[in-house]
Chain A
Amino acid sequence: MSFMEWSVQISVIVIGLSILIIFLRLVLGPSIEDRIVALDLLSANAIAFIAVYSIQKNTTTFLDVGIILALLAFLGTVAFAFYLGRRGKR
């Protein structure tokens, strides 16, 4: 097993572990803003997971998904913040 394969395996394990930890904060989070931050970080971690997975499976198709996911995560966060601001006004 070369160093490259070993580091890809370790990276997959570490990123999966951090997705589990962020999911814990998503369940625990006392305020709704904590949950929004956790969702944003989950999609960011999904991008990194996609990049490592494309190396592990030796296909390059999934990197396009990463671009779309980055776009959707930003738009979703801004939309959530907009509706939170409207909720405070009423």
Chain B
Amino acid sequence: MIEMLCGALLLLGSVFILLSAVGILRMPDLYTRMSATTKASTLGIGLVLLGTILYWRDFGIASRAVAIIVFLFLTAPVAAHVIGRAAYLGKVPLWEKTKIDELGGPEEDRRET
């Protein structure tokens, strides 16, 4: 029974990782790509490591895997924020169908993208 749960967690996690890879290939600009990859890959790695914990059922392995999960959940938003800020300040173009540019000020003096 617990083997079935472990295998299902591994499969679900790898499907989420594949979704993040498809997202980074198919999304139209940098910001939507970051939105797809950060969330989906963090969830996928968390599920795969949960499956690893359930497979070994050992305290040392579980503590290492939980350390990786906590570290990823803490650092993935920070890294995405830092890269997004550097990209916006470096004038990486937004997608042409972007509706709201909250850093761009009011409608008339929004910068050309």
Contact = CB atoms under 8 A, between A and B. Distances in A.
A19 B44 CA distance: 14
Contact of B30 (A4, A22, A34, A77): A34
A19 B41 CA distance: 12
Chain A contact patch, size range: 35 or more
Contacts of A85: 85-86, 89-90
Interface of A is mostly: helix
Contact of A47 (B11, B21, B68, B83): B68
Contacts of A34: 30, 33
Contacts, number: 162
A37 B37 contact: yes
A8 B83 CA distance: 33
A15 B87 contact: no
B30 A37 contact: yes
Interface of B is mostly: helix
Contacts of A87: 90
A72 B10 CA distance: 24
Interface of B: 3-4, 6-8, 10-11, 13-15, 17-18, 20-22, 24-25, 30, 33-34, 37, 41-42, 44-45, 48-49, 51-52, 55-56, 58, 60-61, 64-65, 67-68, 71-72, 75-76, 78-79, 82-83, 85-87, 89-92
Interface of A: 2-4, 6-8, 10-11, 14-15, 17-19, 21-22, 24-25, 31, 33-34, 36-38, 40-41, 44-45, 47-48, 51-52, 54-55, 60, 63-64, 66-67, 70-71, 73-74, 77-78, 80-82, 84-85, 87-88
